[in-house]
């Protein structure tokens, strides 16, 4: 019987060491102090012993019981105080930095479209949209682009099937709006365009344009210059210069390509502006009378101007971004900077 008692004493030590959960401690309590536990087993033996052995053994069992009760109580206390401070820190330590929720924002190209839209909205322009899947009529014919024009080959335009293409310019929206509305017209039309270009730092098979169109009585080239100058100064800054170069587009006459003084080097010359001090940002001109004919406008009564600018291009110039592909790679480290 004494052996059993000593054994229980020894086991108690290793048992309490092995336990590290409150649940385990409860089970240990049952094992030693429960109704069918070790202590009770030993108690049952006491009445069977001879009178002289009984007192001594009884005392030993009793002190073992106290020892077990104490150490299990201590174990429970330790385990529960260990758990509590942890929970407390998580909830109450106001000195720890908080967890910032990740807040998303607009893509830099969307931001540019919003900014450009805002500048033109202040000048009285409405926003218009057109489909990205187009017919040759809206992308070419109505815009005075003849059937043999190089831009109509499948090197320069994506053909889905005969007469179903992906628009290669937002100028399609000029026609769609003029078909539906009478002058005065004052719209800008942002959106995606597609061209079968090989992707590199400056080209992409898909990019964005913002088209502008203003038609009314007595609109002159001076109005075009005034509006573009206002836009450029507002969007790029008052110190940026504008320059118009004569150019050609089938749907405008006269036509111009519009440059701004290089915003990267300030016009001194750098790799972005090919050391010329100027970078092209848009094409523009006075609406060709043949375009008015397509939409049944009286070209004797109305005149207008149109322009189209590259959204990627102006975003890259404004922020000094050197590779167009960065816009499409969904790299949050790049995108979150804007
Ligand atoms: N659509 C022309 C382009 O994509 C730009 C342009 C628009 C030029 C309107 C003149 C007038 O290059």
**How close is the Cα of 301 to the center of ligand 1, in Å?**
23
pLDDT score for 87: 58
pLDDT score for 90: 62
Residue whose CB lies within 8 A of the most ligand 1 atoms, among 249, 286, 306, for a mutation test: 249
pLDDT score for 8: 76
Measure the CA–CA gap between 200 and 203, rounded to whole angstroms: 5
Closest residue CA from atom 12 of ligand 1 = 283
pLDDT score for 89: 54
Closest to 203 in 3D by CA, of 335, 293, 327, 292 = 327
**How close is the Cα of 311 to the center of ligand 1, in Å?**
13
The total of other beta-carbon atoms located within 10 Å of residue 219's CB is 18
Closest residue CA from atom 8 of ligand 1 = 283
Q: Is 273 exposed, middle or buried, given 0-12, 13-18 or 19+ CB atoms closer than 10 A?
A: buried
Q: Which long-range contacts (C-beta less than 8 Å, at least 24 apart) are formed by 196-200?
A: 196/154, 196/155, 196/156, 196/157, 196/158, 199/325
**How close is the Cα of 211 to the center of ligand 1, in Å?**
8
Supply angle C-alpha 29, 69, 18, rounded to 5. 55
pLDDT score for 32: 81
Closest residue CA from atom 9 of ligand 1 = 307
Name the packing angle between helices 51-92 and 2-18 (round to 10°): 0
Nearest-atom number in ligand 1 for the CA of 193 is: 4
Residue ranges of the chain whose pLDDT lies below 50: none
């Amino acid at each position: 019987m004494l052996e059993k008692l000593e054994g229980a004493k020894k086991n108690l030590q290793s048992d309490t060491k092995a336990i590290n959960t409150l649940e385990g401690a409860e089970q240990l309590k049952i094992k030693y102090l429960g109704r069918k536990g070790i202590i009770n087993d030993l108690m049952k033996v006491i009445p069977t012993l001879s009178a002289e052995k009984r007192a001594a053994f009884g005392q030993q069992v009793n002190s073992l019981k106290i020892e077990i009760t104490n150490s299990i109580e201590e174990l429970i206390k330790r385990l529960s105080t260990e758990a509590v401070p942890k929970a407390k820190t998580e909830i109450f330590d106001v000195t720890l930095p908080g967890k910032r929720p990740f807040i998303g924002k607009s893509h830099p190209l969307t931001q540019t479209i919003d900014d450009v839209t805002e500048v033109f909205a202040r000048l009285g322009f409405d926003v218009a949209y057109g489909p990205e899947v187009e017919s040759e009529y809206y992308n070419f014919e109505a815009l005075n682009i003849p059937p043999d024009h190089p831009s109509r080959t499948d090197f320069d335009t994506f053909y889905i099937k005969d007469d179903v293409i992906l628009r290669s310019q937002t100028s399609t929206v000029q026609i769609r709006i003029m078909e539906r509305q009478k002058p005065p017209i004052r719209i800008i039309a942002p959106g995606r365009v597609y061209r079968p270009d090989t992707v590199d730092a400056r080209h992409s098979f898909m990019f964005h344009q913002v088209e502008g169109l203003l038609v009314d009585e007595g609109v002159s080239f001076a109005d075009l210059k005034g509006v573009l100058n206002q836009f450029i100064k507002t969007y790029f800054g008052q110190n940026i210069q504008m320059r118009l170069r004569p150019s050609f587009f089938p749907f405008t006459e006269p036509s111009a390509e519009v440059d701004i003084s290089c915003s990267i080097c300030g016009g001194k010359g750098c790799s972005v502006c090919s050391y010329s001090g100027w970078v092209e940002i848009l094409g523009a001109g006075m609406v060709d009378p043949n375009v008015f004919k397509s939409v049944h406008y009286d070209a004797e009564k109305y005149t207008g101007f149109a322009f189209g600018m590259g959204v990627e291009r102006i975003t890259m110039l404004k922020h000094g971004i050197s590779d167009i592909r960065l816009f499409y790679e969904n790299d949050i480290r790049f995108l979150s900077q804007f």
